Amino acid sequence: MNENIPIFITGTDTGIGKTFITALLAACLMDKGYRIGVQKWISTGDSDVCQDTQFVHSVALDLWHGRDGQVPLHLFDQGCYRLSFPSSPHLAAEIDGVRIDNHVIEREFSRARDGCDILLVEGVGGVMVPLSRRYLLIDLVARLKIPAMVVARSGLGTLNHTLLTINALRERGISVIGIVLNSQAERDEEFEDKRIVEDNKLVLSDLGHIKVFGPVERVRHPLDALGYIEPVAKTIIRACVKNPVLP
């Protein structure tokens, strides 16, 4: 099964749950028999080791614990940019004295894509984040023609951010597979009023003409949220995989 499908996991903001949802998707798709690749082109406020891909790996290892064979997850970290300053990539690169070279990212992306069935590329912050003073992340995603999945908060404040994000993606011809609402309940109880969350889901699917999943509730361990991600994984398979062999 070598489908070579890339998905760009973006979000309406930083800290919204991109890594968390990427980890769940990787685990769920692995469980269905796919070989998953994970890549994060640029991380900031990071060491040489990418914290986000490491998180995805640790969740995959937990899922695979006690099973035969190696975990079918590969981290394609080679050649990616790990910047120490916690800021937008353009500034972090300037401070670290690095130039983010799109050709390097494109090369590593192609390599990763060829090395797995489904490649999950985690974004950096939101879609309009600058990689340099002249170039935005969204322009690179459009150039590479990667379909996107948007992670958004489930409660108050999501409508504007999410509709702007999907509009920006579509304006550049990027196909948006769906929105995954992720709960911020622990931090913002009052923002997660049930009436707001339910209505957000309706408004986003009606005005955005898009599939809206979730809300993924706050859980103690990521694998406790696998059930929420099952329909997202199925939609990805239906939308992107040519000959799905598994449900």
| Helices and strands counted in the chain (H then E) | 8, 9
The Cα–Cα gap between 234 and 247 comes to 7
Does residue 18 belong to the site contacting ligand ADP (CB under 6 A)?
Answer: yes
Query: What residues numbered 54-83 form the site for ligand ADP, per CB under 6 A?
Result: none
Q: For ligand ADP, which residue of 5, 8, 19, 25 counts as binding (CB under 6 A)? A: 19
Does residue 16 belong to the site contacting ligand ADP (CB under 6 A)?
Answer: yes
Q: How far is the CB of 197 from ligand ADP (least distance, A)?
A: 13
SS3 125: coil
**Is 40 part of the annotated catalytic residue set?**
yes
Stretch that binds ligand ADP, among 13-21, 58-66, 113-121, 231-239 (CB under 6 A): 13-21
Q: How many residues lie near Mg ion (CB under 5 A)?
A: 3
Does residue 52 belong to the site contacting Mg ion (CB under 5 A)?
Answer: yes
Q: Which two tokens stand for residue 60?
A: 């995959």
Does residue 183 belong to the site contacting ligand ADP (CB under 6 A)?
Answer: yes
Provide the mask over 10-29, with x wherever binding to Mg ion is found by CB under 5 A and - wherever it is not. --------xx----------
Task: Please enumerate in sequence order all residues whose Cβ is within 8 A of that of 53, keeping only pairs 6 or more positions apart, or say none.
Answer: 38, 39, 40, 75, 77, 122
Name which of 203, 212, 127, 143 is nearest 177 in CA terms: 212
18 alpha carbon, distance to own chain's centre: 5
The Cα–Cα gap between 222 and 33 comes to 20
Query: What residues numbered 219-238 form the site for ligand ADP, per CB under 6 A?
Result: 219, 225
Q: Of the residues 40, 211, 234, 242, which is catalytic?
A: 40
The entry of ligand ADP, Mg ion, none near residue 227 (CB within 5 to 8 angstroms by kind) is none
The entry of ligand ADP, Mg ion, none near residue 17 (CB within 5 to 8 angstroms by kind) is ligand ADP
Stretch that binds ligand ADP, among 15-23, 59-67, 205-213, 230-238 (CB under 6 A): 15-23
The Cα–Cα gap between 247 and 117 comes to 16
Q: How far is the CB of 3 from ligand ADP (least distance, A)?
A: 25
SS3 187: coil
Q: Across the beta sheet with 148-153, what order do the strands follow?
A: 73-75, 36-39, 118-122, 5-11, 148-153, 176-182, 212-216
Based on CB atoms, which residue is closest to ligand ADP, 24 or 174? 24
Name which of 7, 212, 17 is nearest 125 in CA terms: 17
Does residue 11 belong to the site contacting ligand ADP (CB under 6 A)?
Answer: yes
Q: Which two tokens stand for residue 181?
A: 């609402």
* Chain contacts with Mg ion (rule: CB under 5 A): 18-19, 52
Catalytic residue positions, numbered: 40
* Chain contacts with ligand ADP (rule: CB under 6 A): 11, 14-20, 182-183, 216, 218-219, 225
